[in-house]
Structure 1
């Protein structure tokens, strides 16, 4: 997880910045506060009924019902995704798209809370329940204010962020960024390294691409006491694991972050048995597509050449995952400025680069996009609720369910006012 960041200085608006909309700012905060209890209830319902990637059928039905209450018809997309549009005055003037992912993880929850997961082995451990509830909350605010703004707001409820090929890529392929075409796309993600009430941003390259590595090394097994009669795939695999690190340390530009890790090694031998093959799984991540492609070639040549030189053979499968995520600088600057207006300068921080991956990156590659982080740790300074995402004890401070929708609505209104 990236660090908590540092406070951002207040940015003086440029001459082209929208004029202050103080009446709308106070109205958004009021609506967010009034709806906070309902937004918490939405999140708790979603948390108690998690569904895995591309299996979000009950979640979709629930979200559809909530949108209908707001008078918003929803259109299905990418199997278990939804799209709805809020039209303000002059709907074609400008469009902002807002994204929330809906899927959960195959984790058994350990929190003992009234809203604990009711689906054994499935948990909203990455905050997608918070994202979905926040977007529903933001939609509620924006519907209330639709006579106050020009343009349209596209609500994108996305399936399958946690599983390749990623629901974002499928939604884009099915035309989610068309009719109307958004001028900007905003995404929000929970961040337990910050207390509720704070947000973090980073302009430019922020999150890494991710590729899955599946490597099988084949040799000739036999008795461990007679190595001269065997071709030991365990030794070959060990050499590959060590040698592959030079791709990062000696092939990569030192200024370009790269990670190569093998997290799974299976050699079904014994104390005195050399197996016929070894199976490995790993990941490669970076922040540059050209170097990413080059690294794939280096890794393939290294594995095959090293195995052959030791009398073995290997097969390397590289499953290409999400691209790197880049926050468009101008949009991110506007988002930061609007966040400062909503939360105050002390509550907006600059984030470090993070080598985790997110399929929101597909939106960032296809449109002007900004992906920011919502603080979710206890706002009382107690240090509670700091369990990392993807762990069985992850949870959030309810105050984040007031900040998240209100901030998203305000960022949208600010972006719609951009000329």
Structure 2
């Protein structure tokens, strides 16, 4: 095995502090646009280390700025801060102290990694140019998200960058490995809420009702054919029923039922097709039973599209830090959405994946009540960000 990169050794002195920060954030999870304690912690640390700090960006976002040398280039790094409404079941000594909330996606790790890089870069200042660190709220929201609000609050006008980079941990891949992909890498994500309106009544006289449960069951089954029979087989699309609710009392046929869908794809044309077919299918199925349907189609995040030049650069830095055997420059599609896509619509950049552990190890997928970010990644991630900044911001 080759010797570890010196940067990994240099970050060792900061690891206890970074780990303590991560565990503190994990104990006190905050949901979308509630990240006040996390934002305060981030802002305090950045100020201690000599950054210029702006708070309240896009509601609870924080931006730290550090300049060194005379270089004119500018780089932006983003980390998300929000938690999820999930009851934690890890049993860890630093488990969530807030009932019904936990960091089940690793944003506590992402924030701590970026703070680790901030600490190192403030101490060494071996770069020439401007560094902006974007600590973003509300990535998990799915709509009206933290990235959207920060951009609407003038993020790139107030804190401009020539390129923007972000990362997300990836359970199922070796700890400390880095993956990237050119072009569309993560999907557009839409939410569909459907209300099926029938006619309720007594279960003993179903012929006098229009049973919304039966209508909804038919809709759910018909929806399963949309991807398989309408979308080009060479394209990727996902349509999942997330919520199905009907009735609440034994002996009663209800008046209505509700369904919620998650819809994901990578191609704008496929996105339009899915909406057209979902709406036609839902209305057609409802009408065939004498019921009617109301559809609330909520357009969420756009597809996340990495730019080729920035992917090549990010991969080159990863290979320098970790060696080529731990870097995958052509990683497969990831079907989870991320609002970093809004930033990539405004600036060139790259969103990377950082392996969080193989599933045959004690590793759980994100959004699982037993998920935990792997602390072994704190040093790797901080070393990677700091090296990326130094390689990008050169005279």
Q: TM-score range by the shorter chain?
A: over 0.9
The CA distance in 2 between the partners of 1:153 and 1:202, in whole Å, is 24
Aligned to 1:306: 285
Q: Please state how far the C-alpha of 1:107 moved relative to its aligned partner.
A: 1.7
Aligned mate of 2:58, from 51, 73, 78: 78
User: How does 1:230-245 map onto structure 2 within 5 Å?
Assistant: 230-245=209-224
Aligned to 1:10: none
RMSD after superposition? 2.0
Aligned to 1:154: 132
The CA distance in 2 between the partners of 1:139 and 1:252, in whole Å, is 45
User: How does 1:87-98 map onto structure 2 within 5 Å?
Assistant: 87-91=67-71, 93-98=72-77
1:117 aligns with 2:96: yes
Aligned partner of residue 242 in structure 2, secondary structure: strand
User: How does 1:301-380 map onto structure 2 within 5 Å?
Assistant: 301-349=280-328, 350-377=330-357
The CA distance in 1 between the partners of 2:9 and 2:158, in whole Å, is 32
The CA distance in 1 between the partners of 2:37 and 2:68, in whole Å, is 30
Aligned to 2:270: 291
1:129 aligns with 2:112: no
Aligned to 2:163: 184
Seen in structure 2, the aligned counterparts of structure 1 residues 26 and 388 have a Cα distance that, compared at 3 Å, is closer
Greater displacement, 105-114 / 397-406: 105-114
Q: Please state how far the C-alpha of 1:291 moved relative to its aligned partner.
A: 2.4
Contact 2:194 2:293 in 1 (8 A): yes
> Structure 1-normalised TM-score?
0.88
Aligned mate of 1:139, from 111, 118, 127: 118
The CA distance in 2 between the partners of 1:197 and 1:357, in whole Å, is 22
Contact 2:127 2:389 in 1 (8 A): no
The CA distance in 1 between the partners of 2:37 and 2:138, in whole Å, is 14
Aligned mate of 1:404, from 381, 389, 394: 381
Contact 1:51 1:104 in 2 (8 A): yes
1:62 aligns with 2:12: no
Q: Please state how far the C-alpha of 1:27 moved relative to its aligned partner.
A: 5.7
Aligned partner of residue 99 in structure 1, secondary structure: strand
Contact 2:50 2:66 in 1 (8 A): no
Contact 2:65 2:131 in 1 (8 A): yes
Aligned to 1:19: none
Contact 2:5 2:321 in 1 (8 A): no
The CA distance in 2 between the partners of 1:83 and 1:172, in whole Å, is 12
Contact 1:192 1:385 in 2 (8 A): no
Seen in structure 2, the aligned counterparts of structure 1 residues 385 and 185 have a Cα distance that, compared at 3 Å, is farther
| 1:130-175 Cα deviation digits (max 9, x unpaired) | 11111111111222332x3221111000011111321011111111
Contact 1:165 1:322 in 2 (8 A): no
Contact 2:5 2:322 in 1 (8 A): no
| 1:220-261 Cα deviation digits (max 9, x unpaired) | 222334333222222221221122233212222222211111
Aligned to 1:18: none
> Structure 2-normalised TM-score?
0.93
Aligned to 1:22: none
Aligned residues between the structures: 389
Q: Please state how far the C-alpha of 1:377 moved relative to its aligned partner.
A: 2.5
The CA distance in 2 between the partners of 1:99 and 1:149, in whole Å, is 18
